[in-house]
Amino acid sequence: MGIRPAQPADPTVVSELDVWENEWFPLADAMLTRHFPKVREEVFLNLSQTEGIQVIVSVGTFMKRLAALEAGNDEGRRAAERLRRYGLTQEVQAAAQAMLDRASTPASEPSEPDLAAQREAAELAERNLWDWCLEWSRIARLVIHDRRQLRQLGFLSARSTSGDDAADVEEAPDEAAARAADDEPRD
């Protein structure tokens, strides 16, 4: 339908909001319950502490209701003033609003993968692996003298049915190419 799904919220922002909520919801609830029970009913109507992604909604709702206290009646303004004296200052509320803004900002679109660069990196990795295999096989043939081990490693073909060890010396195709490369003169 041409509509992209919503980007998941940044887990660090959700965690920060959860810490904020765990500190300020209980304080506001306790103070309002004792001093302004009617205001408490309005602020915490269908609102409780949450966890996970739901914390964005609960803190957002709480912030809107705190702003309504400031613009509301006399009792609401007194309640907001007392909350500030308890530490829920404009700066603390601004910090929560900044976290909410970060949580609602969509993540940037993922960029298209650079297929040419990926192909080039894969070819380089394959060349490096092949060079390593050739180097390792040359060293192994120099160090290992037990024909059974060489056969197990694929450097000799299977034992002939005649039992003649001379038939063992046939090299695997890759080994022959590696030996031919080794025999080339170097500058």
In a domain, 31, yes or no: yes
Vertex 29 angle, CA 23 and 34, to 5° = 135
Q: What is the pLDDT of residue 170?
A: 45
In a domain, 172, yes or no: yes
Average pLDDT, the chain: 81
In a domain, 99, yes or no: yes
Q: Cβ neighbours of residue 49 under 8 Å, at least 6 residues apart?
A: 21, 22, 25, 26, 58
Residues 74 and 134 both lie in one domain: no
Residues 38 and 100 both lie in one domain: yes
In a domain, 115, yes or no: no
In a domain, 44, yes or no: yes
Residues 30 and 75 both lie in one domain: yes
In a domain, 20, yes or no: yes
Residues 16 and 100 both lie in one domain: yes
In a domain, 2, yes or no: no
pTM over 0.85: no
Residues 74 and 16 both lie in one domain: yes
Give residue 62's domain range.
Answer: 11-104
Answer for the pair 59, 96: CB distance below 8 angstroms, yes or no.
Answer: yes
Domain count, the chain: 2
Residues 91 and 166 both lie in one domain: no
In a domain, 111, yes or no: no
User: Which of 46, 73, 104 delimits the end of a domain?
Assistant: 104
At residue 107, φ and ψ (nearest 5 deg) are -70, 155
Going by pLDDT thresholds of 50, 70 and 90, the confidence category of residue 53 is confident
**By C-alpha distance, which of 149, 126, 31 is closest to 87?**
31
pLDDT tens figures, 112-149: 778 888 999 999 999 999 999 889 888 888 888 888 88
